[in-house]
Amino acid sequence: MPETSQTASELGPIPSKRYFTIGEAAELCQLKPHVLRYWEQEFAQIKPVKRNNRRYYQHNDLLLLRQVRSLLHEQGYTIAGARQWLAGDSAGDDAARYRQLLRQTITELEEIRTLLKSV
């Protein structure tokens, strides 16, 4: 699956499901599975549930992965910079983080509303 240049706001809505396999998570975030495994090592906040030697991501994990993807691929952060941003080390980062998460959530809700109207 090739990585595309879609922004986080252009990614489709996350299905209402409790757990996602690494393949499903990679597809929903438009990343490759090895990138998700690498980011687990780099970002302490990414903690999929591991059962029977398999990873299972939850909805909040996917939101975090999409956030990291946006920081690295769209906003030009380095891994270290994204790690600091997620940790909230700089003043004003919390407000920016919440704004971005709200924009992402609003976009997902608007897409769901559009899907519901078309049914």
Which has the closest alpha carbon to 37: 27, 29, 46, 28? Answer: 46
The neighbour count for residue 6, using CB atoms within 10 Å, is 13
Output the CA torsion sign for 84, 87, 93, 96. positive
For 58-110, the pLDDT digits (tens) are: 999 999 999 999 999 988 899 998 988 888 755 455 667 677 778 888 888 88
Q: Tens of pLDDT along 7-54?
A: 555 788 888 889 999 999 999 999 999 999 999 999 988 999 999 999
Q: Domain coordinates of the chain in residue numbers?
A: 8-117
What is d(CA 76, CA 20) in angstroms, rounded to the nearest whole number? 28
Q: Which fold has domain 8-117?
A: Multidrug-efflux Transporter Regulator; Chain: A; Domain 2 (1.10.1660)
Distances (CA, A) of 37 to 15, 22, 26, 47, 76: 21, 9, 10, 10, 21
